[in-house]
Amino acid sequence: MNLENKVIIVTGASRGIGQEVAFLLAKNGAKVVVNHSNSSKDAEKTVTKIKDNGGEAIAIKADVSNREQVTQLFDKTIAAYGEVNVLVNNAGVMISKELKDNTQEDFSKLFDVNVRGIFNTLQEANSKLADKGNIINFSSSTVKLMFPNYALYSASKAAVEQMTRVFSKEIGRGISVNALAPGATETELFMKGKSQEFIDKLSSMNAFDRLAQPIDIARVVLFLASDESKWISGQTIGANGALI
C-alpha cells in the first residue's frame, strides 16, 4: 500500500494499537502525526523510532475531548505539512464495570473521549481534511456482543459507528469514512488486570485461538488509509478473527 506523501493524523498514537498503526503507516511512506494527550515521552519515542527507520513524523499533544485542542491539532499539522489527507481516530478509553457500578464520572470520561473526541475531530475534518481523503474511526467488536461489564463502553462505540455511517454521506468531496471494530487485542492497556483464565476464554472465542496482535489491526488501517479502499465507505469493518 503506497501512502507516499500522505499526511496522516493518528490520535492516541503513543502506545498500543495507535503506535503500531503509526509505525506501519510511516513504513509505507506516510508523514505521520503522532497525537497524544499526556504521554509526551512515549510519543517522542514513537517519533524517534519512525525517523530511525527512515520515516517522517512529528508529535502533537492534544486532548481529543477538548475542541480547541483538536482545532490546534489540525492547524499545527497543516502548518507543518501543508494538508491532512487521512484521519485515524484511535484515541479512546475503556472502563469495564457492571452497569450498576459505573459512576457519573465513568460515564462522562467514556463519552467525552470515545464519542465527543471523534465528534470534535470529524467537525474539524469536515473543512480541513483534503479532498479524496480517508477517515478511520475506531469502534469495537463489543458493540455486537453482550459482554457483561461493557455496557457503557459498547454504547460509546455504537455511537461512533452511527456517526460514521451518517457522516460518510454528509462530508462529500470524495472522502471515505469507515469504522474499524477490533476484537480483543494484546496491548498493555487491554491485558492489565485480566486473569489468564479470562484471556484464554477470549482467545478461544475466535477462529485462530489467540488474541489479535496490534499489527493485525494496523494492517487493516493501512488498507483503509490507502486509495485501494476508496469504494468502501460508511461501513464498520470487523477485525476480530471471526469472533462474530
Cell of 138: 475506531
Is residue 153 flagged as an active site residue? yes
* 3-state class (DSSP) for residue 7: strand
Q: Distance (Å, rounded) from C-alpha 79 to C-alpha 101?
A: 45
* 3-state class (DSSP) for residue 11: coil
Cell of 23: 509505525
Q: Are 64 and 109 in contact (CB under 8 A)?
A: no
Q: Distance (Å, rounded) from C-alpha 73 to C-alpha 68?
A: 9
Determine the residue type at 201: K
Q: Per the residue annotation, which of 74, 138, 153, 167 is the catalytic one?
A: 153
Q: Are 118 and 89 in contact (CB under 8 A)?
A: yes
- Catalytic amino acids? 153
